[in-house]
Amino acid sequence: MIRLSDLKIGIDQAVDFHMERQALRSAILSILGIEERDLIGFEIFKQSIDARKKDRIHYVYTVDVKLRDEERILGKSGVKGVTCAPDLSYQWVSPGSGKLDERPVIIGMGPAGLFAGLLLSRSGYRPIILERGEDVDARTVKINRFWNKSLLDPESNVQFGEGGAGTFSDGKLTTLINDRRCRLILEEFIQAGAPREILYKSKPHIGTDLLKTTVKNLRQEIIAHGGEVRFKAKVTDFIIKDGKVIALVINNSEQLRCGVVLLGIGHSARDTFEILCDRGVVMSQKPFSIGVRVEHPQEVIDKAQYGNAAGIIGLGAADYKLAYHSSNGRSAYTFCMCPGGYVVAAASEEHCLVTNGMSEYKRDGKNANSALLVGVTPADFSSSHPLAGVEFQRRWEQLAYRIGGENYRAPVQLIGDFLKDKAGAGWGAVKPTYKPGVTFARLKDCLPD
């Protein structure tokens, strides 16, 4: 196949699948100077939106094309953007000759644990996945109970359970690395029920509603290849001998012998971090970010990004990404922007308040939201202990819980009131989507100086 880059198609030419295919077919024939009979087929490799000029918004495509005489086209001068399409098929690693005494164990069933389990099971290693939370259906019940009644289950929530924190987030599949192996992840998601468009859209997204089914299908695939998945199986200790893990303690009672352990525990398993630290596992402090969730009307973002084209079928809800670098060395930036989404309660520890953003596949909610963050470094933690950053997080989460009313209602403030440093008492154009509710407060009271 040959690869043809930088095909520009107007947004009015691609409002549905059939129009898009016809427009691309016509563009391919025109650019390559070939007849219809010479084109065997094509597939989209990449699609992005160029909205820099609001009066000429268009899609930009890279397509892989199969022709009857590809060598002639590749050797033809004057045709720009034509290359030989690379082979992006996943290269499986050959198993080693050593024998494992015990089955490999994976702790955590977020994306890392899921795909480690998938590849190990297909390679014949029969992995055991230990997940402290519940399966996605039982987990959904617990999360809805928390959002509607403020009843938190510390072991089954937005952070813990089948699929990990990402299942109840936006389902964005963003990577900042250019690695051909990333394509396998997208292909497996599609096989498990995700929309095929994630394979080529520049900002692929699944959505919480579809992810629930997708992660269940990935679990069944792991089991079908000999893997084992155990829910409500919290690792409460690591038994180490001569510098090697020889067993795990599950739920303070059962011992599971093992020789290979993969940690896919995410960023919220603070109790597991503490156990590992106590057992002598080398750790170091790291910088991270802290901030708030900001909501706006989605139609305002659409208008800002797309101008008069806002609302055209196919464009979908617009997103944004902003950054500001201060002269004092700090930077403020947006992260995990959720078009047409919701701000959700994401606590996993009692008496702590954490927010996150979530969108469903259609991204058709009235509000947009984004994290607005500032970076913090180990110098801000006031301690050299490896887990000082965890205590730093916990302190501000507990403060937010208190000023919100100690019932998991989130403290909230209009942007104008925040800038004027007053609590405020009424809504503007945006009605908060956060459940179980919000309380007017001064956000500066639960944020570092």
What is the distance between the alpha carbons of residues 133 and 143, in angstroms, rounded to a whole number?
A: 12
What is the per-residue DSSP string for 113-180? HHHHHHHHHHTT---EEEESS--HHHHHHHHHHHHHH----TTSSSSSSTT-GGGGS--B---SS--T
252-290: per-residue pLDDT in tens?
999 999 999 999 999 999 999 999 999 999 999 999 999
pLDDT at 351 over 90: yes
Average pLDDT over residues 379-385: 95
143-196: per-residue pLDDT in tens?
999 999 999 999 999 999 999 998 998 777 777 677 888 899 999 999 999 999
pLDDT of residue 79: 77
pLDDT at 136 over 90: yes
Q: Which part of the chain is CATH 3.50.50.60? A: 105-278
Mean pLDDT of the chain: 94
What is the distance between the alpha carbons of residues 130 and 263, in angstroms, rounded to a whole number?
A: 10
235-252: per-residue pLDDT in tens?
999 999 999 999 999 999
User: Is the distance from CB of 362 to CB of 170 less than 8 angstroms?
Assistant: no
Phi, psi of 233 (to 5 degrees): -120, 85
pLDDT band per the 50, 70, 90 thresholds, residue 77: low
pLDDT of residue 95: 83
Give the Cβ contact number of residue 332 at 10 Å. Answer: 15
Q: Any idea which residue has 């409460």 for tokens?
A: 236
Q: Which part of the chain is CATH 3.30.70.2700? A: 2-84
Q: What pTM does this model have?
A: 0.92
3.50.50.60, 3.90.1150.10, 1.20.120.1200, 3.40.50.300: CATH of 105-278: 3.50.50.60
pLDDT at 124 over 70: yes
Fold of 2-84: Alpha-Beta Plaits (3.30.70)
CA atoms within 13 A on the CB side of 448: 17
What is the distance between the alpha carbons of residues 130 and 151, in angstroms, rounded to a whole number?
A: 25
CA atoms within 13 A on the CB side of 24: 26
